[in-house]
């Protein structure tokens, strides 16, 4: 994954999920998201060819940003689940 692709992935996630966090800033030069979860955990999230991970950590690499955040933040997991359920309900209502 080249620098441009990393920046695109990070920008997309920032635009979609920044409201899920107490603090969320995008550092395109260093290619990471600086997040503070609603639980108060401060982390830096990055992406590469293998997937999503916490910057400067030997932790597990996740296939998606959502799976990484669901593993470490109960509030993200709850909000993500609620948003998904709401979107599905809207689709069902449109089909009726």
Instruction: Please answer whether residues 65 and 45 qualify as being in contact, where contact means their C-beta atoms are separated by less than 8 angstroms.
Output: yes
For the stretch 29-50, what's the b/e string if a residue is b when 16 or more beta carbons lie within 10 angstroms of its beta carbon? eebbbbbebeeeeebbbbbeee
Inter-axis angle of helices 3-17 and 65-72, to 10 degrees? 50
- pLDDT digits 0-9 by tens, 55-64: 988 779 999 9
Q: For the chain, what are the domain ranges?
A: 3-95
Q: Across the 96 residues of the chain, what is the mean pLDDT of every consecutive 10-residue run?
A: 93 96 95 96 95 88 96 95 92 87
Instruction: Please answer whether residues 14 and 26 qualify as being in contact, where contact means their C-beta atoms are separated by less than 8 angstroms.
Output: yes
The CATH T-level fold of domain 3-95 is: copper amine oxidase-like fold (3.30.2280)
Sign of CA dihedral 57, 63, 64, 68: negative
């Amino acid at each position: 994954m080249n620098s441009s692709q990393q920046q695109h992935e990070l920008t997309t996630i920032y635009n979609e999920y920044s409201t899920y966090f107490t603090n969320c800033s995008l550092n395109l030069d260093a290619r990471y998201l600086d997040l503070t979860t609603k639980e108060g955990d401060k982390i830096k999230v990055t992406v590469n060819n293998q997937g999503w991970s916490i910057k400067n950590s030997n932790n597990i690499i996740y296939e998606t940003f959502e799976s990484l955040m669901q593993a470490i933040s109960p509030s993200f997991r709850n909000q993500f689940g609620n948003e998904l359920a709401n979107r599905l309900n809207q689709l069902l209502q449109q089909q009726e």
